[in-house]
Amino acid sequence: MSPMNQERAAGITMALTYAVGALGLGIGFSTAFSPSPDLRWACLFAVGLAGLLSFVRHSLMHRGDAARMGWDSGTTNPFQIEVGLANLAWGLLAVIAVALSWGLGVYAACFLVFGFYMAGVTALKAIRSSAGHPEEWRTVLPAGAFAAMLIVIGAAGMSALP
């Protein structure tokens, strides 16, 4: 696949990640503050599918994804693949938790793990922006908003536990 096609495929995968993440957040906010919250479907979409798609983008499409982000050094970046494997870990956890009906506490914990990770990503982007990489500023607000919403839903789920 040509570099331009790799970058386009990574961009499409990123758009799909945004779509399933937004769907999951919407489902999560529609139930998280109810008397009996059920985060099953929210967890599947916002954490499980978003995590799996992020794994595909970061690890399997790593060159195209690096080019999409403006980080392409022309070589394989093993750290980017490791980030993808982290996404795979919580994505699989969420999918398995939903498939095996592990319950509200596990679903909420999945939200919190992904949210804390995204909060760290947001901080890194802000630090890099301040250190001479102004292109990072365009992603600080969206990443921070996603992190905050994941954490709020996860905390609401934990608060609803007996």
If you ran DSSP here, which 8-state letter would residue 69 be given?
Answer: H
More confident residue, 154 or 63: 154
Mean pLDDT along residues 73-91: 88
Q: Which domain holds residue 32?
A: 3-159
* pLDDT for residue 138: 87
Number of domains in the chain: 1
pLDDT at 135: 77
pLDDT at 54 over 90: yes
- When pLDDT is averaged across residues 54-79 and rounded to a whole number, the result is 83
The candidate with the shortest Cα–Cα distance to 67, out of 143, 125, 115, 11, is 11
On the question of pLDDT at 70 being above 80, the answer is: no
What's the pLDDT band for 67 if we cut at 50, 70, 90?
Answer: confident
Backbone conformation region of residue 74, classed left if phi is above 0, alpha if psi is from -120 to 50, else beta: left
Mean pLDDT over each residue of the chain, to the nearest integer: 93
Q: Between these two residues, 64 and 21, which has the higher pLDDT value?
A: 21
pLDDT, tens only, 26-35? 999 999 999 9
Other CB atoms within 10 A of residue 134 CB: 10
Of residues 79 and 48, more confidence is placed in 48
Query: What pLDDT, in 10s, does the model give residues 91-125?
Result: 999 999 999 999 999 999 999 999 999 999 999 98
